[in-house]
Amino acid sequence: MAGVKISLVTATWNCAGTVADCLASVVGQSYANREHVLIDGASRDDTLRVLQAHREQLAVLISEPDRGIYDALNKGIARASGDVVGFLHADDLFAGPDVLAQVAAAFADPSVCAVYGDLQYVRQHDTTQVVRHWQSSPFSPSRLAWGWMPPHPTLYVRREWYQRIGGFDTRYRIAADYLSILQLFSQPGFKAVYLPEVLVTMRLGGASNRSLRNIARKTGEDWRALRQARVGALGGVGALVWKNLSKLGQFV
């Protein structure tokens, strides 16, 4: 049996220095029933040249202007043909060759809606140096109200669920992934499986933690997401506090 088909969506923009590592990480996966959908935002550096050099491994390659990363990810979801969708950002790498095989094994149970694991943040120029270890935990609905979320780069969801929520809300610039998690995990009967091991390593320097201004913007968008999804203890204040405090123990 081939198992579930997994669609990996990668959005790129001016990342010629890292995207080749991302592509090699996908090629190195032992699980064969997969496709890689690449949405480039009309990069101005050599990103497209790198992508064209690896065109044979990409099921979809589009390069055109977009309205930000969430618009690009929505384009990727729309063009994905897999049973399951996950996201591997241009700066990210799989932690090992069998990550997708483990994810697919969990989805062999048709009642499973989502699968996620742990995430490690590494140095931008030295991916062997771990700076932060995000150890997640099994999901329970009550945890959403206190700021719990799975590491989004490790999250795989049946494609039909993204269709149900309408993809990512592009009115958000940083926290549309958090809103989508709130929308998905608060659905009755949404069954998620936690794999207690590192699935992805992520280079530091993402949009949400690049500056104090972005951190403030991220907090504001998290607040909006909690209010929009109608999730959060003490009107969302408790969720925001615990969401940020929980990160302190992740630094190594």
Apex 118 CA angle, 115 and 202, nearest 5: 110
Q: What are all long-range contacts of 40-46, with beta carbons under 8 Å and residues at least 24 apart?
A: 40/11, 40/12, 40/13, 40/64, 40/72, 41/11, 41/12, 41/13, 41/65, 41/66, 41/72, 42/13, 42/66, 43/12, 43/13, 43/14, 43/15, 43/16, 44/14, 45/14, 45/15, 45/16, 46/16
Rounded distance between C-alpha atoms, residue 242 and residue 244, angstroms: 5
pTM: 0.90
pLDDT at 208 over 60: no
154 contacts: CB under 8 Å, gap ≥ 6 = 116, 117, 118, 119, 136, 199, 200
Give the per-residue pLDDT at 175: 93
175 contact partners, CB below 8 Å, separation of at least 6 = 208, 218, 221, 222, 224, 225
- Residue 70 vs residue 209, higher pLDDT: 70
Rg, Å, the chain Cα set: 17
Residue 147 has pLDDT above 80, yes or no: yes
Res. 41 pLDDT band, cuts 50 70 90: very high
Element (H, E) at 220: helix 212-229
Q: Classify 120 as helix, strand or coil.
A: strand
Q: By C-alpha distance, which of 92, 42, 93 is closest to 63?
A: 42
What the block records as the tokens of 30 is 């032992």
Q: Is residue 234 pLDDT above 50, yes or no?
A: no
User: pLDDT tens across 155-185, in order?
Assistant: 999 999 999 999 999 999 999 999 999 999 9
| Domains of the chain from N-terminus onward | 6-250 (3.90.550.10)
Whether residue 116 contacts residue 154, with contact meaning beta carbons closer than 8 Å, is answered with yes
Instruction: 65-70: list long-range contacts, CB under 8 Å, 24+ apart.
Output: 65/41, 66/39, 66/41, 66/42, 67/170, 68/170, 68/173, 69/11, 69/13, 69/207, 70/167, 70/168, 70/169, 70/170, 70/172, 70/173, 70/176, 70/177
Mean pLDDT of 142-149: 86
Question: Residue 25 has what DSSP assignment?
Answer: H
> Tokens for 71?
């618009």
- 71/52 Cα distance (integer angstroms): 22
Q: Rounded mean pLDDT of the chain?
A: 90
Residue with tokens 């780069």: 153
Q: What is the mean pLDDT of residues 78-88?
A: 98
